[in-house]
Structure 1
């Protein structure tokens, strides 16, 4: 939007109109994010089923978080995912039974365990992610690389809750 420095732009009606335009733009963005979230939920559900048929998206999130961290404790995982420790414990047990993660005693604290992905878990996750990685690449195939970088920059600014640098 171009900022106008005419006296008309400073009138209450002009400011209200700009405010309405801003509100409408935010509403349109919210609608697009809603569609994006629905698509990501579907992709996560599909990836979870590729890792293990019937796996729930929540278990997939726990698993992928363990993979990203490489080695983590239940307490750190519960805090990171803002998850009930009882539910987390059941989910980790399920992941262990599927052969996706291992749990070994924490040498620093005998009451705690260290969770790590197994080699099989990593291989299954890698295979499960291929279709979605191809999907994003396909969706962005016709995009100019500068547009992709600009979208990345703007999303980062949004997530940082700071206005984008110009």
Structure 2
């Protein structure tokens, strides 16, 4: 690997570190907007539940790469807050489908709108093609990372 490529990779690592640090701070803010007692990492769970409409715990565990026991505890916390519900799976009586409650959906949507407003404000001066390319490259990076 030549020195220029190594320096470029160090720059990528630096920018990723900055992005992740900011992301953690934003996650705290957004989580508090959804519910004052919500753990910051739970926003990602709510995002997946909002995207899927309803999903089995095992499928969500696989998709997120989180152990079923850990995920079950996190989901239980969201149930206690009234944000998530379990309903019997119509195809398998032993399993349950997870989904957002109406309250969870409303709170998530309001917090997401605020987050999207921040993203929109950050990227509003960028040309639309740059935003599209940024989204494409982030997706490619995330796909390769897993």
Tell me the distance in 1 between the aligned counterparts of 2:77 and 2:143: 35
Aligned to 1:136: 119
Answer yes or no: is the 8 Å Cα contact 2:46–2:108 preserved in 1.
Answer: no
1:160 Cα deviation from its structure 2 partner: 4.6
> Is 1:109 paired with 2:92?
yes
Structure 1 pair 158/60, CA: closer, same or farther in 2 (3 Å)?
closer
Structure 1 pair 36/107, CA: closer, same or farther in 2 (3 Å)?
same
Tell me the distance in 1 between the aligned counterparts of 2:101 and 2:80: 12
Structure 1 pair 132/24, CA: closer, same or farther in 2 (3 Å)?
same
Aligned to 2:128: 145
Answer yes or no: is the 8 Å Cα contact 2:53–2:99 preserved in 1.
Answer: yes
Tell me the distance in 2 between the aligned counterparts of 1:20 and 1:145: 33
Aligned to 2:141: 158
Correspondence for 2:64 among 81, 84, 95: 81
Tell me the SS of whatever aligns to 1:23: helix
Tell me the distance in 1 between the aligned counterparts of 2:129 and 2:87: 46
Unaligned 5+ residue runs, structure 1?
A: 1-15, 162-166
Indicate the structure whose relative CO is greater, using CA pairs within 8 Å and at least 6 residues apart. Answer: 2
Unaligned 5+ residue runs, structure 2?
A: none
Aligned to 1:96: 79
| Runs ≥4 residues deviating over 6 A | none
Tell me the distance in 2 between the aligned counterparts of 1:48 and 1:151: 25
Aligned to 2:24: 41
When normalised by structure 2's length, the TM-score is 0.87
Please provide the CA RMSD for this pair: 1.8
Tell me the SS of whatever aligns to 1:57: coil
In terms of Rg, which structure is larger?
Answer: 1
